[in-house]
Structure 1
Amino acid sequence: MFENQYIQQRLHKVQLLKEQNQNPYCNEAKKTISNLDFLKKFDYLKNQEEKKEISQNFYVTGRVKLLRMMGKACFINIEDESASLQIYVSQNDLQEQFEILKKTLEVGDFINVYGFPFVTKTGELSLHATAYKLLTKSIVPLPEKFHGLTDIELRYRQRYVDLIMNKEVKETFKLRSQIVSKIRRFFEDKGFLEVETPMLHPIPGGANARPFITHHNALDADRYLRIAPELYLKRLIVGGFEAVFEMNRNFRNEGMDHSHNPEFTMIEFYWAYKTYEDLIALTKEFFIYLLDSLNLPHKLPHNGDIIDFDCFEVISYKDALEKIGGISRDIIEDENKLKEFLQENHIVIQPQMGYGKLLGEAFDAFVESKLINPTFITQYPIDISPLARRNDKDMQIADRFELFIGGKEISNGFSELNDPIDQLERFKQQVKEKDAGDEEAQYMDEDYVWALGYGMPPTAGQGIGIDRLVMLLTDAKTIKDVILFPAMKVLKSNEEDSLIQ
């Protein structure tokens, strides 16, 4: 694994340090100021005509990112999480330690330095080292400085190196953390209670998706990784909670592309005595709050487009197919004509697909990618909405919406179905579809139906994809850019070897 000649040279230096009674992997470090705070605290020194020496000393730590040897002195740039700081080291100050430093220190190593602030002749605020200690010896060389880590697949597989070499990547994930924090604050301020529900389910439910299966040895029973927390959260509404949310990890055994990862993060929330229309109003408020609290503009660039968050639109499913998708109304309203239209446009359809799923295929092909500004699509077909409430005026549509931004689905919400008999019949229909070959159709969950039998108040529920939301706010091109460790294809042994050479 470590046969590379450059690694061997570094391993030789590890041995040299040990022979000098120097521990190349220390267990103790002192840090009295961050690099950024040091730079801010003494920035005024750069403007002083007379360079006065500061007697105050500090401990700083960081990874060596640049090393310039100059005979009996050297300049070292170290980087901690906050910033990069230049260190000046001389033989006069370190004595015999300087020789060890010259022979063993390399880019990538972590060091601990003690010293005082000063400004170099070129005007750079630096720390003049009076003591030095190696904390961790790096044996694998970092990518070459001026080219960095540019191989896209390698960046995702070795995110740790990506974070070291590409500052903007670290900033993306700092922003992601802030986004998640702001989301929690928004719902807590609205009176929602954060809860936790199981990730191992006896029956997968809450979404039309193919699950991952595992086995519980103690129970000697198969379990499914959660595809959605919906049915458990609605059980809590039955139990008497009126507003709950969960920041949840979900797992769906499906394909991967620029907007899909088999493991992803969502927030789902359920609100008693509310309708899907209340959720639409809440969602608009949510986005404005998020942008304002993060100091982001209401007009954001994304994949070459400008998304205007001051322009939310609401349009029905069939109107979107006609006005945005360009499909004539007579085709939309006639199942046979719709099927012919899809086939003529080379869209693969299955024999068992009903009218609602045919509409869904048309929507995916002709509408979704065109929805750039925030758009709520409402009045979904009931047969592709197995958990949503039927509309009182038209029993063939659901009181449901999906929010699309930047050509992608960001959120799904609806007035919840709380009629246990209707829910039972819908589950039965899902089971028929699964038996007919639809691997994403939902399973029968009799306990959930039984829970509804106790009575669930009128409730509205919604899920928002966190990963796609972060993609929007950071102008990311792929979901892999906003997930620290995205799923990757399994490499063959020779491909793995090439990654670590």
Structure 2
Amino acid sequence: MSDETEEARGRLAEVLRARRESLKRLRDKGIEPFALRFTKGADAAELRRDFERLAPGEEAGIRTAVAGRIMLIRRHGKLSFITLRDTTGDIQLYLSEEHLGEAYGSVDLLDLGDIIGATGEVVRTKRGELSVKVEGLTLLTKALRPLPEKWHGLRDPEARLRQRYLEFATNLESRAVVMARARVLNAFRDVLAERGYLEVETPILQKTHGGALAKPFVTHHNALDMQLYLRIAPELYLKRLLVAGFERVFEIGRDFRNEGIDRDHNPEFTMLEAYAAYATYEDMMELAEALIPAAAMSVRGSLRFTYQAREVDLTPPWRRASLADVVSDAVGETVDHRDEERLRAVAKRLEVGVDHSWGPGKILLEIFEKRVEHDVWSPTFVKDFPREVSPLARPHRSADGLTEQFDLIVCGMELGPAYSELTDPDEQRARFMDQQRLRRTGDEEAHPLDEEFLVALEHGMPPAGGIGLGVDRLLKILVDVPTLREVILFPHLRPESGRS
């Protein structure tokens, strides 16, 4: 342990002792340090909006009640100023012995991080700061640990993510992520509600991990004595609802995939999935061109902005191009899903590792994901995927060996797939059996055989289109951060050294 670390721990221990002493003194004075409730009258943003024209030195003649966390205390004898922070921002409290009387002495027992409530008149100080001239002060919660030094936020990136609540408490800019997520989800729901989609909830614990190609988390249900999986996608249950007669459904929820963590991947993430009877993947393109611009407007107020110092334009319509054409343009020679020899040669030239058991469609997709996708910046529907990598999509209406699937790529990231859905139960069974052959060769992400879903399809599912959109990746673009964990409120991190 370094001398600097030892010194920091010593300082923290001293602060903790002082806080405990303050706690005891409060209780000795008969002050409850952890209150039951407090009735707020307004928040900081409302006060700034409602009294923006109040002149310096002017009193509004209106009383209010505010509450929040103490971010700064300035004591000047018989006057004190407190910066109070609530969800919407900061407001200043103006405290004086003249107005508070003996209660003014309790200000000395307050610390940064304490949560307080205050009542008083709205004024603007002579220096122009909107304030509440405090007539009543209530300690609501005594903070027994200090805020990060100087309350600018945590400087250590790892500590910042481990104690995300402290970052949100101390750094107003970091709160934009929380607000943006709420706005995006509200925008999605508004667009879908306008189009007649019904929001539903489907199981997170599933007997079969279907709906995507991914490695699942496994758990055990003690009462039923059976193995279950955290869902990797809600797709197969949403399709059951189409069978049931619900023509337009969607779900916003958490999915789980037991995979690596990097800039664009997290094992737990939020997805929107929507399905519409009597639709195709072209209809899902149009839906995406409504959903994402609505989300962008709710967060950025424009469809044109910068992400990582590059311009982004989300104005529809967006480019449509086949997977083979996008790869051909990028690698400088014509390739398609049938020419395995050429695809293996291209993969070798580009140093893309491919397995000997893979067919040409899988190789084509691997080349795209490893060498092409990152350079697709403008919104693009990369469409018409090989059958072998698309077990749930309908066969292409005019191209043998392909399916009606697209992946939406924006800023070099896949935001989500969409299909003209496969409704033929016999064809679906054949696709599942193809996936079982891949599983036997060691492909852990191959789709399992889901007999219950096949039975549902045999009852008849209407022709349909479906789409999935990754909320976290979209947020990453809209709030302009480089890694996915910046937009996940409490991201998964490796255990700290020395801790289990």
TM-score w.r.t. structure 2 length? 0.93
User: Secondary structure in 2 aligned to 1:15?
Assistant: helix
Q: Is the 8 A contact 2:69 2:115 kept in 1?
A: yes
Runs of 5+ unmatched residues, structure 1: 497-501
Partner AA of 2:403 in structure 1: A
> Following the alignment from structure 2 to structure 1, what is the Cα–Cα distance between the partners of residues 14 and 63?
40
SS at match of 2:62: coil
Counterpart of 2:184 (choices 175, 179, 186) is 179
Matched, 1:79 2:88: no
**1:42 and 2:47 matched:** no
Q: 2:65 aligns with which of 46, 59, 75?
A: 59
- Residues 56 and 286 (structure 1), Cα distance of their counterparts in 2 relative to 1, 3 Å cut: closer
SS of the equivalent of 1:280 reads helix
> Which residue type is aligned with residue 78 of structure 1?
L
The answer for the alignment partner of 2:167 in structure 1 is 162
Matches within 5 A, 1:191-210: 191-210=196-215
Q: Is the 8 A contact 1:111 1:132 kept in 2?
A: yes
TM-score, length basis structure 1: 0.93
- Whether the aligned pair in 1 keeps the contact of 2:207 and 2:229 (CA below 8 Å) is yes
1:340-385 Cα offsets, whole Å, 9 max, x none, are: 3323433222222221111111111221011111001111111000
1:80-229 counterparts in 2 under 5 A? 80-102=86-108, 104-145=109-150, 147-229=152-234
* Structure 2 counterpart of 1:13, from 8, 22, 36: 22
Name the counterpart of 2:409. 404
> Matches of 2:45 and 2:320 in 1, distance apart?
46
Give the 3-state SS of the residue equivalent to 2:53 in structure 1: helix
Alignment pair present for 1:340 and 2:345: yes
Q: Within 1, Cα distance between the matches of 2:425 and 2:191?
A: 32
Does residue 321 of the first structure (1) align with residue 327 of the second (2)? yes
- Change over 3 Å in CA distance of 1:83–1:150 after alignment to 2: same
Q: What's the counterpart of residue 499 of structure 1?
A: none
Q: Which residue matches 2:309?
A: 304
Cα deviation 1:140-174 (Å, max 9, x = unaligned): 11112275312222121111101011111212211
Given that 2:187 and 2:291 are in contact with CA atoms closer than 8 Å, whether structure 1 keeps it comes out as: no
Structure-2 separation of matches of 1:156 and 1:207:
29
User: In structure 1, what is the equivalent of residue 283 of structure 2?
Assistant: 278
* Structure-1 residue corresponding to 2:6: none
Q: Which residue of 2 aligns with 1:438?
A: 443
Alignment of 1:212-291 (within 5 A): 212-291=217-296
With over 3 angstroms needed to count, the CA separation of the structure-2 counterparts of 1:13 and 1:367, relative to structure 1, is same
1:382 maps to which residue?
A: 387
In 2: Cα distance, 1:8 partner to 1:179 partner = 44
Structure-1 separation of matches of 2:126 and 2:351: 70
| Separation in 1, partners of 2:132, 2:189 | 40
SS in 2 for 1:271: strand
Amino acid aligned to 1:201: Q
Aligned-partner Cα distance in 1 for 2:430–2:211: 16
The residue that corresponds to 2:13 in the other structure is: 4
Is 1:350 the counterpart of 2:355? The answer is yes
The CA deviation string for residues 41-66 of structure 1, in whole angstroms up to 9 with x for no partner, is 3333326xxx4545433222111111
Deviation for aligned residue 1:176? 1.2
- Is the contact made by 2:58 and 2:125 (CA closer than 8 Å) also made in structure 1? no
Question: 1:159/1:272 Cα in 2 relative to 1: closer, same or farther (>3 Å)?
Answer: same
Deviation string for 1:266-319 (max 9, x for gaps)?
111111111111221222233334444556212121122111122610111111
Alpha-carbon distance in 1 for matches of 2:60, 2:414: 57
Kept in 1: contact 2:473–2:484 (CA 8 A): yes
In structure 2, the CA distance between the partners of 1:292 and 1:31, relative to structure 1 (3 Å rule), is closer
- RMSD of equivalent CA atoms: 2.0
Alpha-carbon displacement from aligned partner over 1:173-225 (angstroms, at most 9, x marks no partner): 11210110110111111111111111111111000000001111110001000
Deviations 1:96-146 (A, max 9, x none): 3222322x1111111121221233232222222122221111111111227
Paired positions, count = 490
**In 1, distance between residues paired with 2:107 and 2:288?**
57
Aligned sequence identity (%): 38
C-alpha distance 332-54 of structure 1, shift in aligned 2 (>3 A): closer
Distance 1:282 1:52 in 2: 52
Q: Which range moves more in the overlay, 331-340 or 146-155?
A: 331-340
> How many Å apart are 1:79 and its aligned residue?
1.1
Paired AA for residue 17 in structure 1: L
Preserved CA contact (<8 Å) 1:46 1:125: no
Measured in 1, the distance between the counterparts of 2:81 and 2:226 equals 62
Q: Distance in 1 between matches of 2:433 and 2:338?
A: 26
* Equivalent AA in structure 2 for residue 442 of structure 1: H
Structure 1 window deviating more from structure 2 (230-239 vs 141-150): it is 141-150
Confirm whether residue 364 of structure 1 aligns to residue 369 of structure 2: yes
Separation in structure 2 between the aligned mates of residue 89 and residue 397 of structure 1, nearest angstrom? 72
